[in-house]
Amino acid sequence: MTRVPFRDARERRAEVRPWTGDPTREVAGDACGSASPRRDPPKEQFVSSTGDSIATPLVRGALAAALSLGTALALVVVPALAAQVAGTRSTATALDAIIIAVNVLVLGHGGGIVLSTGIIDGAVTLTPFGLLGLLLLASAFGMRRVGRALRLVRDDGVLRARALRDAGGALGAYAVVYAFGVGILAGIGRSAATAPVVTSALVSGAMVAVLGGLMGILWSLRREATSTVPGVRVLELLPSPYGETARSAFIALIGLLSVGMLVTVVMLLASLPEQSSLFDSLDPGVVGALVLTLVQLALLPLLAVWALVVVVGGTVGVGTSTGVSLGGAETGVLPALPLLGAFPGPGVFPWWAWLLLVLPAAPVALGAVRLVRGVENLERRDQVTAWIAYPVAVIVGVLLVAGLSTGGIGDGRLVHLGPQMGSLVLPLAGIVVIATGLVITVLATPLVPWTRAKIASLREKVENAENAENAENAENAEKSARPEKPERAEKPEEGAPAGASASSSDGADEADGVIGDEGAEAAVGSPDGDGTGDHTEATVQDEERDVLDGDVLETDREPGHAADEMPDTAAVEAAETGETGGVSRPAGS
């Protein structure tokens, strides 16, 4: 029987190394001629965490949801158990404390519970915004870790391949697990006095998971720039001009919430005596005081949103047929909670309370300034798009927050609590649109340069007029300070020719005319020389003396007017005839 060699089989087994995938070499066999492939030591194997498999993001999202839900449960269970242990006058057990904590957790997510305590009967839908903020932060931190582990951004600052798929898968798994967990807790938290609404717990839990998880994913994309790696900003990933619009709207919303918190803190400081009396009447003890403080801190952001609504110009209801606005307050009986002592008493507010409308306009204008400067280098179409989208985003954001802050406690007079949305829309839109429009008009249009040019031109004209007036006043002052030299006119000699008086004044011309006329009349009236000529000569001399004494003569007459100022020849001859006492004769005699 022919022996079949096993070399071919060994070669087939040795074609590929089991760990490296590279071809192997045969080594020298033993004395029998057998050979065996060289075996490399096994290398350490890693499970890829870069999202190459869809299972990795799903598993990570589910684990993050479980961790976040456990954190949220601890936030409410620990204070409840502490209050139960320290409460000496309470008959509640630890299980009752846990059930109460679960109901508070459902309320913190925005869900509703039904109470049947005899004191409060009905649905409770008022959301403690402070606890809601903590739950959102817990979800954001959980999904931030998932996003960092998935490495959604490459080293060059660009999203890697399948980054959106992996991020969406992780977020979906997170939301599903988290929502079902909240629903299960709501089903477990039923008792004879409390009953969480499972449907609202599911919906509100999913909303918190999606919103908080999305914030965490976006947060994980952010990366600071280094010398070798470019920085990544979340809003820079949005197309222009929506990134600048989102940033400006976020600035405005944070500023508006800060205004509401500022007003709330001022009201709390102003009402410290009332709060102290309420706190003393409750006598909660050390641990009870701690729990009561935590409850009030959970409600503080809710009151800040209500204060913002009032400052914007809306109305906040604190029960049936009640309301607080800038015009006045009409309140009823409120729960014995020290924090509620900050509400103003019933009455009409002074007129200057309406000046508080300026407070919310300031952050809106600040966001508009950021928007105008951010889009100044874009095309006009993109600028107009941003200018329209910004006030819309701010108005929608404020209305959304105000709507979430509404609710009720039971079926009694506290069934309607929170902002009255119908009274908020118009004043909010007016403040946002007017503030944004003013900023755009001032910064994005040529109104300011045109106004500055007009003001500069007007100032220049005023300065020129003042300089001309000052120069004229100085010239007049110089003339008035110069001494005047009196001028005396010489008396014309007798028998001087008529042209010699050409340089005399107008008063002398008039006097010569008068003398000539009277002399002619005298010559005509006394042809015989009966002494009338002497009278005429005396009269002419007197009038000439009066004219000279009255300083009527002008000695600086221009030469061009000498012909106009020559006296009548006949009158001069008559005057000379009258002076010599002769009688004028006709020209033909």
- HEC secondary structure over 78-130: HHHHHHHHHCCCCCCCHHHHHHHHHHHHHHHCCCCEEEECCCCEEEECCCCHH
Segment 270-313, tens digit of pLDDT: 888 888 888 877 777 777 777 788 888 888 999 999 999 999 99
Which H or E run includes 317? strand 316-318
| pLDDT-based confidence at residue 387 (cuts at 50, 70, 90) | very high
Please give the Cα distance from 115 to 99 (Å, whole number). 13
State the residue for tokens 């047929």: 321
Instruction: Locate the domains of the chain by residue range.
Output: 1-39, 49-237, 241-445, 500-580
| pLDDT-based confidence at residue 105 (cuts at 50, 70, 90) | very high
| pLDDT reported for residue 133 | 92
> What DSSP state is assigned to residue 329?
E
Segment 535-578, tens digit of pLDDT: 455 555 555 555 445 444 444 444 444 444 444 555 545 555 54
Q: C-alpha dihedral over 183, 134, 122, 200, to 10 degrees? A: -30
| pLDDT-based confidence at residue 369 (cuts at 50, 70, 90) | very high
CB 213 within 8 A of CB 139: yes
Q: What is the DSSP string of 531-589?
A: SHHHHHHHHHHHHHHHHHHTT---S---GGGTTTTPPPHHHHHHHHHHHHT-----TT-
- HEC secondary structure over 442-458: HHCCCHHHHHHHHHHHH
> What DSSP state is assigned to residue 232?
B
Which H or E run includes 206? helix 198-221
Q: How long, in residues, is the chain?
A: 589
Please give the Cα distance from 342 to 272 (Å, whole number). 8
Question: Which tokens belong to 39?
Answer: 């075996």
Strand partners, 330: 323
pLDDT: which is higher, 510 or 416: 416
The pLDDT of residue 219 is above 80? yes
Strands 316-318 and 417-419: antiparallel
Nearest to 190 by CA among 276, 274, 99, 122: 99
Please give the Cα distance from 299 to 303 (Å, whole number). 7
Segment 480-539, tens digit of pLDDT: 876 665 555 554 554 444 444 444 444 444 444 444 444 444 444 444 444 444 445 555
Please give the Cα distance from 325 to 347 (Å, whole number). 11
Q: Catalogue the long-range contacts made by 429-433 (C-beta closer than 8 Å, 24 or more residues apart).
A: 429/391, 429/395, 430/313, 431/312, 431/313, 431/357, 431/360, 431/361, 431/364, 432/364, 432/391, 432/394, 432/395, 433/391
| pLDDT reported for residue 572 | 47
Kindly tell me the burial class for residue 433, based on how many C-beta atoms sit within 10 Å of its own C-beta (0-12, 13-18, 19 or more).
Answer: middle
| pLDDT reported for residue 444 | 82
| pLDDT reported for residue 266 | 92
Nearest to 394 by CA among 353, 356, 365: 365
Kindly tell me the burial class for residue 528, based on how many C-beta atoms sit within 10 Å of its own C-beta (0-12, 13-18, 19 or more).
Answer: exposed
| pLDDT reported for residue 545 | 57
| pLDDT reported for residue 16 | 44
CB 130 within 8 A of CB 298: yes
**Most confident of the following: 26-30, 176-180, 562-566:** 176-180
